[in-house]
Structures are given as C-alpha cells and as structure tokens.
Amino acid sequence: MDEATKEAVEQRAAGLCEYCHLPEAHVAIPFHVEHIIAKQHRGKDSAGNLAWACLRCNLQKGPNLVGIDPKTKKITRLFNPRRHVWARHFRLEGAILIGKTAVGRTTVEVLDMNDLLRVRLRQELIQQGLFPS
C-alpha cells in the first residue's frame, strides 16, 4: 500500500479508531491501517477497503468478517466503517459501548470492545472531555 493511501485513510478517520472511536491522540501506541476484508479473503489495498484502527481493534478483528450475535446466536457480519454509520450500530452507556443492532452487538463481542482496560481508558477520557460523544 502506498503512503498516499495510508494518509488518506488516516485523514478520513479524523483521529479516531473507526471501530471503537478511541481518539489516537490520547494513546501511546500508533493506530494501523486495517483491511476491512482481509487480503486472505481477496480484500484489496484500496481506500474503500481500509479503516483506521487502534491496535486492540485491529488485533481482535483479525481476518474476521462475521461473528455470532450474542442476542440472537445467529452468524452476523461485523461493522464495516465504509458501509455502516457508527451511530446507528453503537452507543455509549457511560464508558461501555453498547451494540444497538445485531451488527453492533456482534462487533462489540468479537472486537472485545468492553474489556476492562478499554472501559477504564474510555472512562478516563470521558471524564477529561477527550472522548467523542
């Protein structure tokens, strides 16, 4: 992937992980360009298949395209930042990310978005007015 594509993906994300909305400016580990559809599934390096992701979301998502919705127990696709609107699928309840839809619930589960360390970090950022509402 060329540097211009990487920069375009980063700018489009406006400093946020496109999955959990963690602001990059307030974490020590740089974010990554993540393939929404992994290369092993014939995903391309084009901007339309790339997302800006924090290390934790990137590692947890891996090459996954789907997961099991914890509510319906059905196979459900994961959130796609190029096709889905974040606010339609997720909401914050304090520092906890809640999936509002099957896609949201499944993504929260597969990406483990509410592990203790991430919840604590979100809480701290919220208290400081540094986490997007």
What is 48-68 written as a DSSP string?
A: GGEEEE-HHHHHHHTT--EEE
Residue 39: φ, ψ to 5°? -55, -35
pLDDT tens-digit profile of 10-42?
A: 999 999 999 999 999 999 999 999 999 999 999
Share of the chain above pLDDT 70, in %: 100
Interatomic CA distance for residues 74 and 125, integer angstroms: 34
Interatomic CA distance for residues 53 and 77, integer angstroms: 18
Q: What is the pTM of this model?
A: 0.95
Where along the chain do its domains lie?
Answer: 3-127
